[in-house]
Amino acid sequence: RLAEIDTVLFDKTGTLTTGTPHVAASNMPATGRDVARALAARSNHPASLAIRHYLGSGSLAELDDIREWPGCGIAALWQGRRVRLGRPDWVAEIAGQAATATEGVCFAIEGQTLANFALGESLRTGAHEALEALRSAGLDTELLSGDGAVAVRRVARELEIGHAAAGQSPAAKIDRIRALQAGGAHVLMVGDGLNDAPSLAAADVSMAPASACDAGRLAADFVFTRDSLRSVPFAHDIALRAKRLVRQNFGLAIAYNCIAVPLAMAGLVTPLVAAIAMSASSIVVVANSLRLTGGGFDGKAGTSTQPVAEARSSAFEPAAEATA
């Protein structure tokens, strides 16, 4: 399936970026910090980790009915009032004002004003090279993110991604994948968060970094174990080479049988010659498959060993069975 993809969809935070943002600026007042700190401490989202670090150590408020809403943020009850930490528009629903900030993360106690945390982040290692390699391979690339439009446009502009959509919920990402599939596209989804798990499962093929949450790693077909995003075109290149080798091996198997079977039926092949020819054909097929380890692959891209092993085995098994 990986060899047949023609479209690659990327999440932003934790996938195209490092996943370790920092709070660049905030208007968080002194009051309510213990509540915001308690909410941030209950989530492993990269933004929550950054806010937790920004707020520093201190007391944590007692919270009830804590729930994490994929694509929105985390909510709870504090002294009978709702509190939220997450997307500005979602948090503004309980605040005493409209969301003026469209970027970063907001916090609010029901009926009170919004506090905004502006986040900064950097691109993941190898992001430029990976996107360029995918485009060179003739693949379309898109960016789907739940973050604000300004941050999404900035990353899309840096990586020269033509189609970028901001404010995407998990359902919206799935809708985009299904729309592409309905148009005949074969989609690779690359994401890391809890929000991406449904879209990772919906795509034809999916990848996640080792830093992804448990749900993301379990939903993905591939997990790349190093920080570099070059693992994505690396694995795609292996899949294309494996597919070519499978076809070559089927050709070798068919050619061998077209020659050997008529000779055997005519009684022109002794048992010893047949045994040698059979072994030789298997050796040729396996030797041809071993060419997959050549071509400049040095493993530096850091794909998981399991997917690479599966690609290698599939390169010769069908042909070997056909030969047998």
What is the longest distance spanned by two Cα atoms in the chain?
Answer: 95
Residue tagged 């294309």 (tokens): 240
- C-alpha 302/C-alpha 226 separation (Å) is 5
Helices 33-41 and 46-55, packing angle to 10 deg:
140
* Two structure tokens written together for 283: 């050796």
Strands (E), 19-63: 22-26
For residue 199, CA distances in Å to 9, 132, 214 come to: 10, 24, 15
Listed in sequence order, the residues at least 6 apart from 94 whose beta carbon sits closer than 8 Å to its beta carbon are 82, 83, 84, 108, 109, 110, 111
The residue to which tokens 């071993």 are assigned: 290
CB–CB of 316/289 below 8 Å? Answer: yes
Does 11 participate in catalysis according to the annotation? yes
Q: Residues 86, 195: contact at Cβ < 8 Å? A: no
- Choose, from 6, 11, 221, 298, the residue flagged as catalytic: 11
DSSP 87-106: -HHHHHTTSSS-----SSEE
Composition of the chain by helix, strand, coil, percent to 5: 50, 20, 35
Pairing between strand 7-10 and 140-144?
Answer: parallel
Q: Where are the alpha helices (DSSP H) in 161-230?
A: 170-182, 197-202, 214-219
Please name every residue paired with 109 in a beta bridge, in sequence order, or none if there are none.
83
C-alpha closest to that of 198 among 182, 178, 179, 222: 178
Pairing of strands 64-69, 140-144: unpaired
Residues acting as catalytic residues: 11
